[in-house]
Amino acid sequence: MMLIPCPWCGERSENEFTYIGDARRQRPDTSALDVSDETLKAHSDYVYLRDNPKGWHQEYWQHTSGCRAHFKVERNVVDHRIRASVKADEELPSFPEGR
Amino acid sequence: MTSFRLDQGGLIDRNAPLNFHFDGKAYSGFQGDTLASALLANGVQLMGRSFKYHRPRGVYGSGSEEPNALMTVGKGQEQESNLRATMIDLYEGLEAKSQNAWPSLKTDVMAVNSLMSAFLPAGFYYKIFLGSANFWLLPEYFIRRAAGLGRPNELANEDDFQHHFTHCDVLVVGAGLSGVAAALSAARSGASVTLVDEHDKLGGQGLWRESSQREWLHEALAELADYPKVRLMSRTTAWGHYDDNMVACVQIEGDPGAPLPPHQPRARAWHIRAKRVIYATGAIERPLVFANNDRPGVMLAHAGAAFAGKFGVLVGKSLVVATNNDDGYHSARILADAGASVQLLDARVEVSEALQDSLKGSNIELSLGQTVLSAKGGTGGVTAAEIGGLDGRSSRMVNCDGVLSSGGWSPSIHLHSHTGGKAEWREDLQAFVPGKRLQEGVAVGAAAGIFSTQEALNSGWQQGICAAQDLGHSISAGQAPTLGSPSLDTTPILPLWSNPKPKKVKGKAFVDFQNDAGASDVVMANQEGYRSVEHLKRYTTLGMGTDQGKTANINGHALLAQAQGRAIAEVGTTTFRPPFTPLTLGAFGGPHVGEAFAPVRRTPMHALHEASGASFVEAGMWKRAEWYSRDGEDMWASIKREALHVRRAVAMCDVSTLGKIDVQGPDAQEFIQRLYCNGMKTLAIGKVRYGLMLRDDGFVFDDGTVARLDENHYYMTTTTANAAAVLAHMEYHLDVVWPELKVRVASITDQWAGMAVAGPRSRDLLQAALPHVDMSNHGLPFMGFLDTELAGLPIRVLRISFSGELAYEVHTPARFGPQVWQALSETGKDFDLMPYGTEALGALRIEKGHVAGGELDGRTTPADMGLGKMVAKKKDFIGRLGLLREGLSREDRPRLVGVIPADGRSRIIAGSQLTEEGQVGGFGKVTKSLGWISSAHFSVEHDCFVALGFVESGALRQGQTLFAASPLDDQHLPVNIVSPHMIDPQGERQNG
């Protein structure tokens, strides 16, 4: 069972959290009432398409049974190591290629 | 008959005899015995029947690797099946039964399967599937009854089980010499240490192999017990190693099958979070593969040695011990020293002088270049063995009463593998050892492939210090002790995976005893194209079952490699997955069973409903009043009375379970706008509006009401079911999608109680209860709300209607819920007020055509539910782009309709499919479904069952007759499609 570092509460057990999904996914700006094909496509991709990388993955988690904040972690989906975690509106640090 | 018990030796207490029964017969053993050792001491070798062929089987190992001796222990509620006799500590009154045999273990009629073994080859199930479906049914019927293990206990288990969570610096798994060494050096260095072992005594083989080891172990364990930061746990299996060094253990507290003393749990599940894990899990011996190597009386060499050394039981007087490695010599020596005459066969032609010298002065006859080719015997045990060279020629029979073999040792790398660690093949050891690791876990001693006593101990000592130092503990632990004799010059193990089979001998050479998989099955699987170890496992079932191939895997994989002419390292091994050994399910459940399985949510008015004769229904975790019985009414009578009373007079329903969310902030209005698909911008302070929330893909997510309390303050309700999901949905959009919006949301579901007061007389009632408030259409119009007081208690009155009648909801802080309910009930006496439950609530909203859970199923759009006009055209909202997709706006989508039975009386079953044909299904017949019934109930207004459903093209079908088909209920009911608004389509009642 993973230990997940919540930027607000510190390292807590996985069962306090809910996995939300890919953090690099950007919801397109849909505020314009006339919807262009590009926006429609971008929105459809946002809703339906997910990358499935082997290795490092930037993702949102919510501390559901804790402070309830969403935050970003960078987790290796092969071995579940977490190398960074930041608040939802912060950028994850960049790492050199490899491990 | 105690002739197999030695006069001395072993860790048993000969002054503490214990009585027990096996298959109804009385026996006795001693304190310190296992069920297996006690049976052997009594001369009982036949302990089980094999899974598929029902061949007679005896005990094969001495620990948790045991594949054969599976027993059912205990009676009644305590009864447990498939327990390994080698792991059951004997206790007074133990009752054990053999499994998978009828009428008795000795004369098992299913043993005919053995004669049919040619027809039950590897992949038997798969091959049968290739035949016609009907042909499969016949053998399936037969096999289901013939094959198997013990029967599960069908009685509810009333035992107590506990869950524990703990942390430590260093967790050491396995309390043999290397494990105790690791624990002691880590503890001396200053680390907090937990040491677990699956056996009842900590210490492992060292306790009975040599006195110097025993003495050191006793001292070391005594020293460990004195450290306040050390926890020692016996009968505790570390069964799984999970992420971030979470090791799951089960500790057996109450003897399996024995009644528990009061307040004692049967078992404890431990979740141990360790900073470092040391695997001192030892190794498991594997057998040699030869013909009839499964006969009772054939076992692992180490098992024979352990029965003698640990339990004072000699498994035979005249033994053949076959080996391909040095350890067979140790086992042979222990057996000979215990009084057996031993023929030791070493398949190796040359071995070191020192090894040969180690046999001096013992009753052992050594033959080099020889091995066992076949065992002869039956249910009564082994009578002889055929032995010879590896070429299979010049074989001869020797009489013996036991055949023991050692085919080498496989380190127990299971925990290392659980974490994703790789297995690495060591050619010199002919074994997999832990390779690349992903977690902070390290193997020591035999688990790391270090087999000499002193080196194993050193490795444990060293790793204990390393782990402690890594964590900043720097007290000197001192030097590792020197124990026992220095290691001999070793002679490398000779790879030997299958011995030649003598010509005239019938009978399989088994690789996996529990699954009856033989060497020939591995070869056949390979011939038939199952070339990877994982395919081999599925096809032959080799490595499956309760032992998960602990003694079988390496032999099986090596035979596969041999058949393919490849190296074992190349073929690899199957993945080990938790649990290490079978566990009692109760330990997983722990105390979270029955009433403690999940929290129960009761509304503030729960006790009042109970007093009013309510029956409760579970809605999520909530208990909701379903109906209120009066004067011996049945359920339907109550529901109809309540629903009719709403239509004709006034009734009150507890709606506290609705999700309630408080929304505040300068951007609250903008956020609410984006959250709902209908316009919310114009919602004025003091007004409430129905809202429909979509997901980003355009489908309806939830519905509810929004009341605007102030400029920047909203009070939302959600459906009971989606309360948590809607909150998370809002939090996600605020945290992630629109962090620029200054809004805070909070769940206030539990903080507010709510009650719906519905019916034509509801206004009169509320006016009487609230004389200081103008309840007229002018004072509180439809979709308005006001905050006021009732009997000095703060309340919020919202004029909203779910039933379609003139109706109000009265909300109040949860702690005032009961008083407000009672105050309204008191005033209500003059208006003949009665409570109504969720059944009447459902019936009323269905006949009104209001959507709820059955309709909000994640597949429907606003237009599908007839609410297309609500969708705002001039604003952005979640789901707007999703709705633009072609498929969501097609006119022939299933749309909401009302459905009534054509005969005006039959009951429509929710979940029925709507079809044009009267008969659905049947052989080779395909019936098109045009839609489905989403909810159904009894309509008091129409005095018959009515339903809501979705049907293709919706409104265009109004007036048509279709069939509501529910094949499972064998019902094909003609129904008329009508408007979903089956009462008061203009809404005159609620607006009145």
pLDDT along chain B (992 residues), means of 10: 83 97 97 98 94 91 96 93 96 95 81 69 69 61 69 89 97 98 98 98 95 96 98 98 96 93 94 97 97 97 98 97 96 96 97 93 96 94 95 91 97 95 94 91 96 94 97 95 74 94 88 94 94 92 92 96 95 91 92 91 98 94 96 94 96 97 98 97 96 97 97 97 96 96 97 97 97 96 96 96 94 98 97 97 95 94 95 96 92 95 95 85 75 96 95 92 91 94 87 80
CA angle A76, A80, A83 (to 5 degrees): 60
Amino acid at B209: R
Q: Which of residues 244-273 of B touch A (CB under 8 A)?
A: 244, 246, 271, 273
Q: pTM of the prediction?
A: 0.90
**Coil vs helix vs strand at B436:** coil
Question: What's at B730, amino acid-wise?
Answer: M
- Smallest CA-to-CA distance from B703 within B811, B848, B858, B807 is with B858
Q: Say yes or no for a CB contact (<8 Å) between A79 and B731.
A: no
Alpha carbons B542 and B540: distance in angstroms, whole number? 5
At position B844, the amino acid (one-letter code) is L
CB contact under 8 A, B728 and A64: yes
Residue B242 at interface with chain A, using a CB cutoff of 8 Å: yes
Q: Which of B731, B880, B882 sits opposite A47 (nearest CB)?
A: B882
| pLDDT reported for residue B923 | 62
Mapping DSSP onto H, E and C, the string for B85-119 reads HHHCECCCCEEEECCCCCECCCCEHHHHHHHCHHH
**B506 and chain A in contact, CB less than 8 A:** no
Q: Are the CB atoms for B785 and B686 separated by under 8 Å?
A: yes
* Strand B94-97 versus strand B13-22 pairing type: parallel
**Stretch (H or E) spanning B822:** helix B817-828
Is-contact B660 B749, C-beta < 8 A? Answer: yes
pLDDT value of position B97:
95
Specify the amino acid at residue B3: S
**Could you identify the residue written with the tokens 């030869």?**
B290
Minimum CA–CA partner of B729 in chain A: A20
C-alpha to C-alpha distance for B786 and B796, rounded to whole angstroms: 6
> In 3D, which of B402, B457, B451 has the Cα closest to residue B428?
B451
Phi, psi of B39 (to 5 degrees): -65, -45
Could you tell me whether strands B193-196 and B230-233 are parallel, antiparallel, or unpaired per DSSP bridges? Answer: parallel
Cα B596 from chain centroid?
18
Residue of A nearest to B244 (CA): A2
B568 φ/ψ angles, rounded to the nearest 5 degrees: -60, -40
**B244–A1: do the CB atoms touch at under 8 Å?**
yes
Say how far residue B134 (Cα) sits from the centre of its chain.
33
CA dist B320 and B402 (Å) reads 6
Q: Are B406 and B298 in contact (CB under 8 A)?
A: no
Picking from B91, B105, B103, B84, the residue whose alpha carbon sits closest to that of residue B28 is B91
Helices and strands (H, E) in chain B, number of each type: 27, 48
Distances, alpha carbon B29 to alpha carbons B66, B81, B533, B961, in Å: 20, 21, 42, 78
Structure token digits, residue B80: 């447990």
Beta bridge partners of B246: B242, B273
Among the partner-chain residues A14, A27, A70, the one whose CB lies closest to the CB of B731 is A70
Q: How far is CA B482 from the centre of its chain?
A: 45
Select from A31, A46, A48 the Cβ nearest to the Cβ of B876: A31
Q: For the residues A56-79, what does the mean pLDDT come to?
A: 96
pLDDT of residue B922: 64
Closest-CA residue in chain B for A30? Answer: B876
Query: How many whole angstroms separate alpha carbon A43 and alpha carbon B518?
Result: 58
Query: Is some CB atom of chain A closer than 8 A to the CB atom of B740?
Result: no
**Is residue B246 a contact partner of residue B271, using CB atoms and an 8 Å limit?**
yes
Give B955-963 contacts, CB < 8 A, sequence gap 24+: B955/B895, B955/B897, B955/B979, B957/B897, B957/B930, B958/B897, B961/B902, B962/B914, B962/B915, B962/B916, B962/B930, B963/B914, B963/B915, B963/B916, B963/B917, B963/B918, B963/B920
Distances (CA, A) of B36 to A40, B683, B687: 70, 78, 78
**Residue numbers in B near A99 (CB within 8 A):** none
Which token pair is B854? 């059955």
Rounded Cα distance between B200 and B256, Å, is 13
B161 closest CA partner among B15, B25, B260, B87? B260
Q: Dihedral through CA B862, CA B863, CA B867, CA B868, nearest 10?
A: 100
Q: Residue B154: beta bridge partners? A: none
Find where tokens 């509801």 sit.
B762
User: φ and ψ at A4, to 5 degrees?
Assistant: -115, 125
Residues of A within 8 A of B731 (CB-CB) are 62, 68, 70
Angle, in degrees to the nearest 10, between helices B533-540 and B553-564: 120
Q: Tell me whether B133 touches chain A (CB under 8 Å).
A: no
| Measured distance CA(B225)–CA(B239) in Å, rounded | 24
User: B516, B118 in Cβ contact below 8 A?
Assistant: no
Distance between CA atoms of B93 and B933, rounded to whole angstroms? 60
Question: Are the C-beta atoms of residues B418 and B576 closer than 8 Å to each other?
Answer: yes
- What gap in Å lies between CA B139 and CA B131, rounded to an integer? 11
Torsions phi, psi of B672, nearest 5?
-60, -40
Which phi and psi (to 5°) does residue B622 adopt? -80, 150
The helix or strand, by DSSP H or E, that contains position B589, with its residue range, turns out to be helix B585-589
- Work out the burial of residue B63: count CB atoms within 10 Å of its CB; fewer than 13 is exposed, 13-18 middle, 19 or more buried: buried
Q: What percent of the residues of chain B are helix, what percent strand, and what percent coil, each to the nearest 5?
A: 30, 30, 45
Task: Give the three-state DSSP class for B757.
Answer: strand
Query: What does the DSSP 8-state code read for residue B70?
Result: E
What's the DSSP call for residue B735? I
What pLDDT, on a 0 to 100 scale, did the predictor assign at position B668?
98
Q: Which residue has the tokens 């790793």?
A: B463
Q: Are strands B381-388 and B283-285 parallel, antiparallel or unpaired?
A: unpaired
**What is the ipTM, given to two decimal places?**
0.97
Question: Touching check for B243 and chain A: CB below 8 Å?
Answer: yes
- pLDDT at position B438 is 84
Which amino acid belongs to residue B695?
A: R
- Cβ-based contacts of B874 with chain A (< 8 Å): 33
What gap in Å lies between CA B882 and CA B694, rounded to an integer?
Answer: 9
Give the nearest chain B residue to A20 (CA atoms).
Answer: B732
Could you tell me which of B855, B860, B835 has the C-alpha nearest to residue B845?
B855
Q: How far apart are CA B716 and CA B730, in angstroms?
A: 12
Order of strands, sheet of A56-62, starting from the edge strand that comes earlier in the sequence: A18-22, A56-62, A70-76, A82-87
The answer on pLDDT for A97 being more than 80 is no
Choose among B243, B875, B884: nearest Cβ to A35: B884
Chain A positions touching chain B (beta carbons under 8 Å): 1-3, 14, 18, 20, 27, 30-33, 35, 39-40, 43-44, 46-48, 60, 62, 64, 68-70, 78-81, 88-89
Shortest CA distance from B737: residue in chain A: A27
CA distances from B912 to B251, B899, B975 (A): 50, 11, 11
Distance between CA atoms of B339 and B307, rounded to whole angstroms? 13
Spatial CB neighbours of B893, under 8 Å, sequence gap ≥ 6: B861, B863, B864, B887, B952, B954
8 Å CB contact of A47 and B697:
yes
- The b/e string for B191-228 (b: 16+ C-beta within 10 A; e otherwise) is bbbbbbbbbebbbbbbbbbbeebbebbeebbeebeebe
Say yes or no: B589 contacts chain A, CB-CB below 8 A.
Answer: no
| Chain B interface test: which of A6, A15, A27, A65 (most B C-beta within 10 Å) | A27
Query: Rounded CA gap, B120 and B118, in Å?
Result: 6
Residues of B in contact with A64 (CB under 8 A): 728
Nearest by CB: B884 against A3, A18, A40: A40
Q: Residue A32's pLDDT band (boundaries 50, 70, 90)?
A: very high
CB contact under 8 A, A70 and B736: yes
Burial of B319 (0-12, 13-18, 19+ CB in 10 A): buried
As a whole number of angstroms, the distance between CA B121 and CA B522 comes to: 10
Eight-class DSSP state of B631: T
Q: Which residues of A touch B578 (CB under 8 A)?
A: none
Q: Which of A2, A33, A68 sits opposite B731 (nearest CB)?
A: A68
